[in-house]
Amino acid sequence: MITINSIKKGIVIDHIKAGLGIKIFNYLGLDKAGYSVALIINADSKKLGKKDIIKIDNEIDLDFNVLGFIDPNITINIIEGENIMRKIKLNLPERVENVIKCNNPRCITSIEQEITHKFYLVDRKKGLYRCEYCDEIHKL
Amino acid sequence: MLKGKHLIDPMDFTVEELDEIFELAERIIQNPSEYSHVCEGKLLATLFYEPSTRTRLSFEAAMLRLGGKVLGFSQANSSSAAKGESVADTIRTVECYADIAAMRHPKEGAPKIASMYANIPVINAGDGGHQHPTQTLTDLLTIRNLKKQLSNLTIGVCGDLKFGRTVHSLIKAISRYENNKFVLISPNELKIPEYIKKEVLEKNNIEFLEVEKLEDVIDKLDILYMTRVQRERFFNEEDYVRLKDSYILDKKKMGNAKKDIIVLHPLPRVNEISIEVDKDERACYFKQAKYGMFVRMALIAKLLGVDK
C-alpha cells in the first residue's frame, strides 16, 4: 500500500466506497486546492474490502448532508496536531436540496427556471428519496 | 381552520377537515340560495395550461353559484407560459388580481410550486398524471351522500389500476376510514402498483383482493368505481381479446350486482360502461359530476373563509 504522510491539521475522509472518492474530490473542488490533498483509491479495507480515502491538509467547510447523500457510510476525521480530535459518522440526510435533479421528464422541475430541486428520504435502508414536487422515486 | 390553505395533494387535509368540507357541501345542497352570495366581490382565477372542459366548468360553475366571478385561461398558448413565463411568476401576478386560484398543468408538481409562492389559496385542478385532489373530494362526497357512510364498505375498483391516478388517490383517501375492503379488478399488466399495496393497504391492515374479471366479484360490491382500460395498455392482442369484455360494464353484469350498489366513474366515459346501464338507478356517475360542483363550492368557500 502507498504511504502518505499524516497531516497536522485538516480532515481525513475515510471509508469511502471504492469508486466514489473521485466524486467527493470533484464535489469539494479539491482539484483547485492550494494546499496538499491526497486521493487514495482502492486502499485495502477490513470492512469494505476496498475503499477510497481523501486526506486534506487544511480546514475546510464540509456539507455533511451532501457527503452523507453521496456515501452514507463514510467517516470524517478532524485532525489537529496530527491526532484525531473528532470522528463524525455520516447518515443519509432527511432532505437534500440542489444535489440531484429529478429524472421524471413530466416533473415541473424540468422546465421551471432556477427552481430548488428538493428530495426527501422515504426509505433509509433502500436509500430511496422522493422528489418533493412530483413524488418520483430516486434510488441512490 | 381551512381559510387560506392550499389543496395540492388529496391527503393535505385531515379527516376532520374533510368532514368540515363535506358538511358544508351538504348544507349547500340543502339550501343553495343561502350560499348564492357568499363569494360576492371575490374572483377565482382558473389557470388551465391544458384543456379540461369538465373540470374547468365545474370550478367556474361552483364560483358563479357562490356569487363570485371567474377569470383565467384554458390553454397554455393563450397564456404567458407560451412566452416562457415560469409558474412562480405567473401566480405572483395572478394573486394581484384574484382571491383564489385553481391550476391545471401538464407538468407534475406545478401547482405545488404555485402554492409555494402564492399568498392566495391554490387548488390543484390536476397536474399531469400526478394528483387530482378535487376528484377525490368529489368521490368521497358522492359516496358519503349515496351510501350515508365512508366506512364498512366493499369497494371494487375496475380497469386501469396501474396508471389511474384517481384510483390511487381514492384508495389512499378511503383507507383512512374504518373497516373498508377493496376488490381490485384489472388485467395483470395494469395491476395496482406495489407501493400502494405495501404503503397504503398492507400498512393499514386493509383487506383487499386482486382479480382479473369483474363478473366474478360484482355481486360482493357496495361500490363499483369504473375506469377505462385502453387497448394500447395491453402487452399483447391475445390478452386484450380475452379480457376486454371483463372491463365493460353492461346490463347483464349489473343483473348480478347488489340492489344498492352504486356505480361511479370519474368521466369522461368512452365504452367501459355500456349506455344501457345509464338508465339503471344504481348508475351514479352523472350525480357524481354534480357532487363535484358542490364539493368545489364548499372547498372554495372554506379556503376563502366565507362559509357561514
**Cis geometry, peptide bond prior to residue B268 (ω within 30 degrees of 0):** yes
Give the pLDDT of chain B (308 residues) as one tens digit per residue: 899 999 999 999 999 999 999 999 999 999 999 999 999 999 999 999 998 889 999 999 999 999 999 999 988 776 677 677 899 999 999 999 999 999 999 999 999 999 999 999 999 999 988 899 999 999 999 999 999 999 999 999 999 898 888 899 999 999 999 999 999 999 888 899 988 998 899 999 999 999 999 999 999 999 999 998 877 666 778 877 777 778 899 999 999 999 999 999 999 888 899 999 999 999 999 999 999 999 999 999 999 999 86
Q: What is the pLDDT of residues A19-36, one digit of tens each?
A: 999 999 999 999 999 999
Contacts of B105 in chain A (CB under 8 A): 108
Same fold: B36-131 with B134-288: yes
Query: Which residue of B106, B107, B130 is in closest CB contact with A135?
Result: B130
Contact B107 A135 (CB under 8 A): no
Q: What is the CATH number of domain A95-139?
A: 2.30.30
pLDDT in tens, B59-68: 999 999 999 9
Check residue A7 and report its DSSP letter: P
How far apart are the C-alpha atoms of B145 and B102, rounded to whole Å? 25
Nearest CA-CA distance, residue A132 and chain B, Å: 8
Contact B36, B68 (CB under 8 A): no
Cα angle, residue B65 at apex, residues B62 and B126 outer, rounded to 5°: 10
Helix (H, G, I), strand (E, B) or coil at A39: strand
Residues of B with Cβ-Cβ distance to A110 under 8 angstroms: 107
Distance CA B42, CA B65 (A): 12
B36-131: which CATH topology? Rossmann fold (3.40.50)
Q: Which among A103, A106, A108 is the top mutation candidate for probing chain B, defined by the most B β-carbons within 10 Å of its own β-carbon?
A: A108
Q: What is the 3-state secondary structure (H, E, C) of chain B?
A: CCCCCCECCCCCCCHHHHHHHHHHHHHHHHCHHHHCCCCCCCEEEEEECCCCHHHHHHHHHHHHHCCCEEEEECCHHHCHHHHCCCHHHHHHHHCCCCCEEEEEECCECHHHHHHHHCCCCEEEEEECCCECHHHHHHHHHHHHHHHCCCCCCEEEEECCCCCCHHHHHHHHHHCCCCCCEEEEECCHHHCCCHHHHHHHHHCCCCCEEEECCHHHCHHHCCEEEECCCCHHHCCCHHHHHHHHHHHCECHHHHCCCCCCCEEECCCCCCCCECHHHHHCCCECHHHHHHHHHHHHHHHHHHHHCCCC
Query: Looking at B3, B14, B37, B54, which residue is catalytic?
Result: B54
pLDDT value of position B190: 87
- pTM exceeds cut of 0.90: no
Residue B104 annotated among the catalytic residues of the structure? yes
Residue B89 CA from chain centroid, whole number: 28
Domain regions of chain B by residue span: 36-131, 134-288
CA B71, CA A13: separation in Å to the nearest integer? 58
Which amino acid, residue A104?
A: N
Supply the pLDDT for residue B68: 98
Q: How far is CA B57 from CA B42, B61, B73, B167, B267, in A?
A: 17, 6, 12, 22, 14
Is A64 in a helix, a strand, or coil?
helix
Q: Does domain B134-288 have CATH number 3.40.50.1370?
A: yes
Question: Which cell goes with B67?
Answer: 356569487
Inter-residue contact B107 to A107 (CB < 8 Å):
yes
Sorted by sequence, the CB contacts under 8 Å of residue B290 that are 6+ apart come out as: none
CATH number, span A9-89: 3.30.70.140
Instruction: Give contacts of B113 with chain A, Cβ < 8 Å.
Output: 108, 112, 115, 133
The catalytically annotated residue of B5, B42, B55, B136 is: B55
What's the confidence (pLDDT) of residue B233?
Answer: 67
DSSP one-letter code for A31 = G
Please identify every stretch of chain A with a pLDDT value under 70, giving residue numbers as ranges: 1-2
